[in-house]
Amino acid sequence: MLTKPAEADFSIVLRRYDIEQQVVVTPEEMAKKMLPKDEVFRKVAEEVLYMRFKTVGPSVAEAIKARAPLDVINNGLVAGMEVVAKLYAEHVYYLPEIMMAAKTMEIGIAIAERQVPGGRDSKGTVIMHAAEGDPHDIGKNIAAVMMKSSGYDVVDLGRDVPVSDLVAETVKVKPMLVTGTALMTTTMTAFPAEAKLFRENGIETPLMGCGGAVNRDFANSYDLGIYSEKAPQTPKIADKIREGYDWKKIREEWDDIVGGK
Ligand code: B12
């Protein structure tokens, strides 16, 4: 006999079947633990966390009156996205929330980015891309803002960039640095393939491997490979390349460089 709907226990029915235990943490609890204490940054971060794409613009515009635009990006928008990523990992948020939060963050970044001081002489050109097959470009976009604000020209090839396109563009543009982002273990293998083709085409440009799937050991495992863990480290490394450091010297002095010494 069928159970009448009124008698069904929906707390048992409406649960994810593909994980062992449903995590009970709420976005509010996670926000309390992870979000910055600073009121201005917190408000911006909450816009991302709660996917408020209609109000993120006014909040960011308000925040950049009181705080530096790059800090609003890093300590507000990115901080909010970090909570979203954590909630996804804990199976509280699902893909639709991720996509809406990412969109909200992008709207905010576009507004803050316009206020980042620029207009200086270019320090050099950097090519940035997300690896072939990889749609994750949020970290790359943040790193691109940092590079532009530090005086570098950025040629952003976007996401899911075929290895052959990257090589062709690098031959054409002759950048002083190429960065790659991979958040998936299936796409990070693009970097050694790109480095091999760089070499075959006589390119000695350092190829920075970045993104969640990549660690320092992996980025150091192929010729030309160097590592950057967080977006704000990249201008420091690029400054050293300007001083004449090659990929081997960057590797040797990496800790000192990103430590700011
Ligand atoms: C947002 C997100 C998405 C969005 C991406 C939107 C976008 N435009 O980027 C969407 C919804 C599209 C997506 C799709 C998928 N995703 Co996804 N996604 C995520 C999520 C939740 C957050 C990533 C993120 O943006 N974080 C915030 C940014 C700021 O962090 P970040 O990218 O790590 O960047 C930081 C550093 O890595 C670094 N960095 C990054 N890039 C660069 C570049 C430079 C130059 C520098 C210096 C530094 C740097 O600096 C940043 C901070 O300073 C992660 C989970 C997680 N915890 O990371 C999964 C995750 C990356 N996704 C995953 C997967 C599997 C997928 C899908 C295959 C899911 C599916 N089954 O369909 C699809 C991809 C399908 C395809 N092939 O097209 C997996 C990858 C697993 C693996 N090990 O391979 C993850 C880890 C989730 C998981 N735990 O399973 N995803």
Task: Report the predicted TM-score, pTM, of the whole model to 2 decimal places.
Answer: 0.79
Q: Give residue ranges with CB within 6 A of ligand 1.
A: 78, 81, 85, 88-89, 95, 98-99, 102, 128, 133, 135-140, 142-143, 179, 181, 183-186, 208, 210-213, 228, 230-231, 234
- Please answer whether residues 258 and 219 qualify as being in contact, where contact means their C-beta atoms are separated by less than 8 angstroms: no
Q: What is the pLDDT of residues 121-147, one digit of tens each?
A: 688 999 999 999 999 998 898 888 778
What percent of the chain has pLDDT above 90?
A: 62
For residues 32 and 51, give the distance between their C-alpha atoms in angstroms, rounded to a whole number: 17
> Which pLDDT score is estimated for 88?
83
Which residue minimizes the CA distance to atom 29 of ligand 1? Answer: 139
Once rounded to an integer, what is the mean pLDDT over residues 147-173? 93
Reported as a pLDDT band with limits 50, 70 and 90, residue 17 is: low
Mean pLDDT of 191-216: 96
CATH match for 30-114 among 1.10.10.10, 1.10.1240.10, 2.60.40.1080, 3.30.750.24: 1.10.1240.10
pLDDT for position 142: 80
Going from N- to C-terminal start, the domains of the chain cover 30-114, 125-259
Ligand 1: which residue has its CA nearest to atom 90? 89
125-259: CATH topology is Rossmann fold (3.40.50)
Q: Which residue has the higher pLDDT, 117 or 25?
A: 25
The DSSP annotation for the chain comes to -PPPGGG--HHHHSS-SSSSS-----HHHHHHHHS-SSHHHHHHHHHHHTT-TTTHHHHHHHHHHHS-HHHIIIIIIIHHHHHHHHHHHTTSS-HHHHHHHHHHHHHHHHHHHHTS---S----EEEEEEPTT----HHHHHHHHHHHHTT-EEEE--SS--HHHHHHHHHHH--SEEEEE--STTTTTHHHHHHHHHHHTT----EEEESTT--HHHHTTSTTEEE-SSGGGHHHHHHHHHTT--HHHHHHHHHHHHHT-
Beta bridge partners of 177: 126
Which pLDDT value is given to residue 185? 94
Amino acid 15: pLDDT: 59
Ligand 1, closest atom to CA 213?
Answer: 83
pLDDT of the residue at 57: 96
Inform me whether the pLDDT recorded for 249 exceeds 70.
yes
Q: Whose CA is closest to atom 60 on ligand 1?
A: 183
Judge whether residue 152 has pLDDT over 70. yes
What share of the chain in percent tops pLDDT 70?
Answer: 90
pLDDT band at 3 (very low <50, low <70, confident <90, very high): low
Chain segment 82-129, per-residue pLDDT in tens: 898 888 878 888 888 888 998 899 899 889 988 877 655 688 999 999
Instruction: Return the higher-pLDDT residue of 185 and 230.
Output: 185
Q: How far is the CA of 38 from the centre of ligand 1 (A)?
A: 27
pLDDT confidence of residue 147: 85
Residue 25 Cα to ligand 1 midpoint, Å, equals 22
